[in-house]
């Protein structure tokens, strides 16, 4: 059976609140690190979220 092509990545808040989102990524098509501007409910505003590894 083949391995799935998508991997789970953690999007960590750059506001240092400890909040994160978990999303899927296809490393064959998206080789660079993901970076999104999303809502951080701890900081109560939109901040940059950058990709980190799930431990």
Using CA atoms, how far apart are residues 4 and 50, in angstroms rounded to an integer?
Answer: 23
All structural domains of the chain: 7-52 (2.20.28.120)
Q: Provide the 10 A C-beta neighbour count for residue 14.
A: 13
Per-residue pLDDT of the chain (55 residues; tens, 9 = 90+): 888 899 999 999 999 999 999 999 999 999 999 999 999 999 999 999 999 988 8
Question: What is the model's pLDDT at position 8?
Answer: 94
Query: Global pTM?
Result: 0.85
Using CA atoms, how far apart are residues 40 and 50, in angstroms rounded to an integer?
Answer: 12
With the CA atoms of 26, 22, 32 and 43 taken in that order, what torsion angle do they form, in degrees rounded to the nearest 10?
A: 160
Contact, 8 vs 23, CB < 8 A?
A: yes
Question: What is the model's pLDDT at position 41?
Answer: 97
């Amino acid at each position: 059976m083949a391995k799935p092509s998508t991997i789970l990545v953690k999007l960590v808040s750059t506001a240092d609140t400890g909040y994160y989102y978990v999303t899927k990524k296809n490393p064959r098509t998206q080789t660079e690190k993901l970076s999104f501007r999303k809502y951080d409910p701890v900081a109560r505003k939109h901040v940059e979220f950058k990709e980190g590894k799930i431990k």
